Amino acid sequence: MAETTQSTTSNSSYSAFIPELWSQKLNNMLEKNCVMLQCVNRNWEGEIKNQGDTVKIITPAKVSVSTLTDDNISYSSLAPTSMDLKIDQKKFFAFKIDDVSAVQSNTDIMEAHLSNAKKAIEEVQDSYLLGLHTDVPTANIVGSEESPITLSKTTIYENFVNLALALKNSDAVHSGVRPWVVINPTIESYLLQSSEFISAYNVADETLREGSIGRIAGNLSKLGLTIRGTHGEGTEPKGSLYQLSNQVTLGISEKAAIENLKNITSQLISQEELARERICSNIDIQDSISRSLGILKYARTIAHDEALQLLSNVRLGIVSGQLKDVPLLTIDKLMTDVEPATLMVNSGKNLSAAQRDVARADLLRKALEEV
């Protein structure tokens, strides 16, 4: 679908009009807010120039696999199919501006006009694209017109799982392609009240399913929390240490904010323990833990970030039961003692970075020499 923005003026200030500015801001707003633009395939946009253009899309043919007998190889003929993507939709809006200079110099008025234009195009665009999804194969449908499914906070998770299963069984979901679902605010409210949905998609379970702290952070934001680096906002995590913080301050009491933080923290702890059980059975993880202890015991110079990561690895070995003779309290204390400021305070000297690395290694060797 193509969108065209058009504005006309009734006086000589037309020369002051900056169409590129308006058009770019409008397109940026659409990119972020239009629902269906985030769901459709847009791979061929660069090949689309004008209304009426047709883009031919080639679909590779399926390749058959045969049994090899007597070293005779038979070749199958490939017959790729194609479909035409025709650009037959073109929309526009037009309005008059009596004083272009005044409007473009007033950011609030300009944003209000763009917001109204955005909303109008969104409705047309989403309506058209959603209309293309009416011809759905029966195998990809859960429920029917005769027996429609009634969704509620107690049934929605099961029905979403059934829908995902139906799509997979009909080969509608392919490897590497993340499926999506468009829902209205009512359905969203059911999801947010569903205990199964919260359990499956909250921050903790993402650790098990994806192993990605980035996805954890994304889901935490939906719960009013955020993950920051070791030393707070704007810092990077060191040694697998993260700071969990509350983001929501308006509309909830201090008691509710603390309770929410405690509940999510408890879920994170329990799920992290499950994740430990899974990863610590891996021989590569076990090897990394043992190597980390060896480096800490014998290194002659060691940087801050490396020390924290190695200590974190050793700590994982302790809590998982792999390292039975290393006191956990010793490792926890060392994670503080290896900090640059702590090293200098304890030594009573202003140490350079290189001197701190040597002092840090000395500290670690002495603390772990009996292990």
Tens digit of each residue's pLDDT (9 = 90 or more) over 27-56: 555 544 567 766 776 666 665 666 667 777
Residue 320 clears pLDDT 80, i.e. is over it: yes
Q: Which of 237, 264, 279 lies at the terminal end of a domain, its last residue?
A: 279
Whole-angstrom Cα distance, residue 60 to residue 166? Answer: 24
| pLDDT given for residue 329 in this prediction | 93
Please, what sign has the CA dihedral across residues 304, 306, 309, 313?
Answer: negative
CA gap 242, 216 in Å, rounded = 12
Looking at the 3D structure of the chain, how many domains does it have? Answer: 4
pLDDT digit string, tens, across residues 205-236: 333 334 445 556 656 666 677 777 777 776 77
Identify whether 72 is part of a domain.
Answer: no
* Pair of tokens at residue 109: 């008025």
For residue 351, which phi and psi values (nearest 5 degrees)? -90, 145
Contact 88, 113 (CB under 8 A): no
Residue-wise pLDDT tens digits, 224-269: 777 777 777 767 777 778 888 777 766 677 887 788 788 778 877 8
Q: Which of 261, 279, 297 is the last residue of a domain?
A: 279
**pTM, to two decimals:** 0.43
Residues 182, 127: Cα–Cα separation, whole Å: 13
pLDDT at residue 25 greater than cutoff 70:
no
| Beta strands 90-97; 54-59: pairing state | unpaired
Average pLDDT over residues 274-300: 87
Same-domain status, 341 and 271: no
Q: Residue 38 and residue 30: Cα distance in Å, rounded?
A: 10
**For residue 291, what are the domain limits?**
283-368
Domain assignment present for residue 347? The answer is: yes
Q: Label residues 2-38 b or e (16+ Cβ within 10 Å = b).
A: ebebebebeeebeeebeeeebbebbeebbeeebebbe
